[in-house]
A and B are shown apart, each in its own frame.
Chain A
Amino acid sequence: MINKTEISAFQLVFLLIHVQIGVGIINLPYDIFLKANSDAWISILLSGMFIQLIILGYSFLIKRFPNYTIYDMHLTLLGKWIGSLIIIVYILFYIMSGSLVLANFVYYIKTWLMPRTPSWVLIGLMGLGAIFILKENLQIIARFLVLCSVFLIGFIVAAFYAFKFANITFILPVGSSGITAITKGIAPSFLSFQGFEMLLIFFPFVKASNRTIIKSASIANLFVTLFYTLLVLVSLLFFSKDELKLVPEPVLYLIKAFSFRIIERPDLLFTSMWIVLVATSFIVFVYGATLGVMTLTKTTRLNYVITILTVICFIIALNIKGVYNTSNASTLFHMYLIPIFIFFPLFLLVVSLIRRKKEVNNE
């Protein structure tokens, strides 16, 4: 096993927040708007509630196996072969997540900040940063993530500032796009919540009761939902419908529209802050994959696993180029979501109920 350091429930909240809030925040309002029109914010709220239900569902698993990560559960419940196979699916999922984060990161940085800087430099720096922190333990990763939350505050402040220019008529009347559109909007918003399922990987490391763990996960989910809703709402209020259609990264664009006495282009600062948020989610994704590999191979050479995984992400990300390619990769990736979020955990729960298997306590 990986060296088992304990984190507090407080740190778990930030771990979950940071893995969810990442590369997607700048284009999230646009993606949902395309489907749900001016009621995109309702879609986000709905999917937040849906995620909350899933988290409550997870609590059954957590109660039955308080010291097992989801990888351990797979191995114990489903046997060596099927369990390993599913773990490999998980590992691929997190490698894919990490690579997509990197690919999107480079794409947006190149559009917004550094059009001529080669991709490998940006991805490489990100990868090096990830290796640099991942070779430490979870405790230190958690500390770093808590520290990075300052940037979330930055975005929240910017969002509230944008209300100054809000035009309430843009989202009125509420519900004008109809229920079908709102439901359609849930799919892209669901994607933005990706990362909450890592609760099942991290909960054994948390030094708290199961109740507190679920509570922390719920707090994290509440925060993320409200944060997303805020961003979506503010983008909808700031841009008219036809304009929003033209602006794929509304969050940055709306910050770009501000101007202050000292800083005339705050979006440059915010794009830089956003890099940190990208880094945090990338780090946690790779860490998720690392834990999988280490459970699977029972190796203790953390440094090698991390380096190899990061390099794989680096190579994949370098090969996803351009908008359309990225979106194709994302579509491929969407197919993974439902099994990872719901199907596998549910399956585990059912199997454990049928086989009446619980964690062996004296281990």
Chain B
Amino acid sequence: MNYQKLLPLFFVMTCLVILTACWDQRLLRDQSLILAIGYDKAENNALKKTVTFPKNTNAGSQNDEQNLSEQGSNTLSVIGNTVKNAENKMDESITEKFDRSKARVIIFGTDLAEEGIFSTLDSVYRDLRGPLHANVVIFNGEAEDALNIKSDQAAITSDLYGDLLESADKAGITKNKSVQHACPIILGEGKDLVLPYLSIDEPKDEVVVEGVALFHKDKMVGSLNIYQSTMFLLLSKQLAKYTSLNFEVNDKEKDPIKRFVDFKVQKNKRHIELNTDDEDIHAKIKMEIDIEIDEYAANHLSDEKKMNKLRRKIEHKLNELAEETITVTQEANSDVLGLGEMLKAYHYNVWEKINWEEVYPEMNIDVDFSVNIIRHGLLN
């Protein structure tokens, strides 16, 4: 009589046993993992998709170390009308099935980025297995070339880019943006996207970071160089672990090394004032940063006067760089600091009246740095 209670359980079990290995199963064994994807513009408005995937090592047993050294990646390029169309074509050319859910970087060629990246990324957002965490980068040139690079630094191309981006992020040169994090910025009002900007250093055939690419909506409109992008990160309060800057402060010094100062930014505070009282809107950005001197061959920081002098020089240089950076973004009409967003949140009435896209390139943005030297290493 009690057996009755067990019947439904047995039923479920039997069903499961019979149906095992059905429907949604995707064995890791049978998937070729795409680890980096590149998109380029092809002729006739078509899309060229390039992928890299690790070489399938058929060396029999798995635990010998040879495999690791033999590792490398294959690259494959296909042209299609849409991303998915290209992907389907790709599946025809390889024995295993492609799986892009583990992609680490998605690279856009500049041509395509200038036309807009959002529609290309649509399939990533829509796919339940889309690589939302992949970092999006812009490549100065063709993404296909970027993925075909042979480097000694890493066996797998995706590792090369992944590690490069990570270290650049830590050094405060760029800010990594995953596909997901890019989305609210592209779709949101009053803030524009920046993405890491890479290129190939021709003579050495190595990938280098150029700075960041500026966007307006989802179209690339310009770029900042490394110094400017560091400044941009400071201004946008995205302080990295090791943000460091280098300025020429003593231009009369004979010893070239003594002309410069190197410092690390330890802490930065930002205060933005949006003045909307007059007809024209202008913004005042007050920055307070704490720095630590890393290298200053001119020495003699024990004297408070000299230290203040150095401090003012640094402040001056910072202001100059900030102005330069903001001018570039204004020229590109890329509101990377999100001033529009702030205007909308705190001065909604004003925001409703104006067309931000016209206001931003014209508006006045003043930056005022105040520097506080908190440490200068072991030496004075």
Q: How many residues of B contact A (CB 8 A)?
A: 30
Contact B345 A172 (CB under 8 A): yes
* 8 Å CB contact of B344 from A117, A132, A169: A169
Interface string of B41-68 (1 = CB under 8 A from A): 0000000000000000000000000000
Given A240-B187, A243-B188 in contact, is the A117-B23 Cβ separation under 8 Å?
Answer: yes
What per-residue 1/0 map shows which CB atoms of B182-199 lie under 8 Å from chain A?
011101111000000000
Contact residues, B306-347 vs A (CB, 8 A)? 338, 341-342, 344-346
Is B128's CB under 8 angstroms from A112's CB?
yes
Interface residues on A, range: 20 to 34
B342 in complex: contacting residue of A165, A169, A241, CB < 8 Å: A169
| C-alpha gap A256/B181 in the complex (Å) | 11
A128 and B180 contacting across the interface, CB-CB below 8 Å: no
Is A132 touching B128 in the complex (CB atoms < 8 A)?
A: no
Q: If the complex has contacts A242-B187, A264-B133, are A168 and B128 also in contact, measured as CB distance less than 8 A?
A: no
Q: Nearest Cβ distance between residue A179 and chain B, in whole angstroms?
A: 16
Closest to B102 in A: A264
Contacts of B279 in A (CB 8 A): none
Contact with B along A115-128 (1 / 0, CB 8 A): 11110010001001
Known: A112-B128, A115-B24, A256-B180. A241 touches B8 (CB 8 A): no
User: A176 near B132 (CB under 8 angstroms)?
Assistant: no
Distance of A135 Cα from B300 Cα, bound (Å) = 85
Compute how far the CA of A43 lies from the CA of B15 in the bound complex, rounded to whole angstroms: 45
- CB of A114 within 8 A of CB of B24, answer yes
Contact A131–B23 (Cβ < 8 Å): no
Q: Is the CB of A243 within 8 A of B183?
A: yes
Tell me, in angstroms, the Cα distance from A264 to B345 when the chains sit together.
33
For the complex, what is the distance from the CA of A121 to the CA of B11, rounded to whole Å? Answer: 12
How many residue-residue contacts, CB under 8 A, span A and B? 71
Complex Cα–Cα for A184 and B8 (A): 45
Q: A118's contact among B23, B133, B189, by CB below 8 Å, is which?
A: B23
Closest to B26 in A: A116
Cβ–Cβ < 8 Å partners of A117 in chain B: 22-24
A257 touching B180 in the complex, CB below 8 Å, given contacts A111-B128, A115-B128, A176-B348: yes
Q: Are B133 and A116 in contact (CB under 8 A)?
A: no
Distance between Cα atoms of A128 and B24 in the complex (Å): 21
CA distance A114 to B9 in the complex (A): 23
Residues of A with C-beta under 8 A to B378? none
Cα distance A348–B79 in the bound complex, in angstroms: 70
Q: Decide yes or no whether A33 CB sits under 8 A from chain B.
A: no
In the complex with contacts A121-B19, A176-B348, A240-B128 CB distance below 8 A: no
The answer to whether the Cβ of A79 comes within 8 Å of any Cβ in the partner chain is: no
Interface CB pairs A-B, < 8 A, 29: A113-B24, A114-B24, A115-B128, A116-B23, A117-B24, A118-B23, A121-B19, A131-B8, A167-B184, A169-B190, A169-B338, A169-B342, A169-B344, A170-B188, A172-B346, A172-B348, A173-B348, A176-B348, A238-B184, A240-B185, A241-B187, A241-B188, A241-B189, A243-B187, A246-B125, A256-B132, A256-B180, A257-B132, A257-B178
Q: Please provide the 9 A-B residue pairs with the shortest distance between their CB atoms, ordered closest to farther.
A: A240-B188, A172-B345, A242-B187, A169-B345, A257-B180, A240-B184, A243-B187, A117-B23, A116-B23
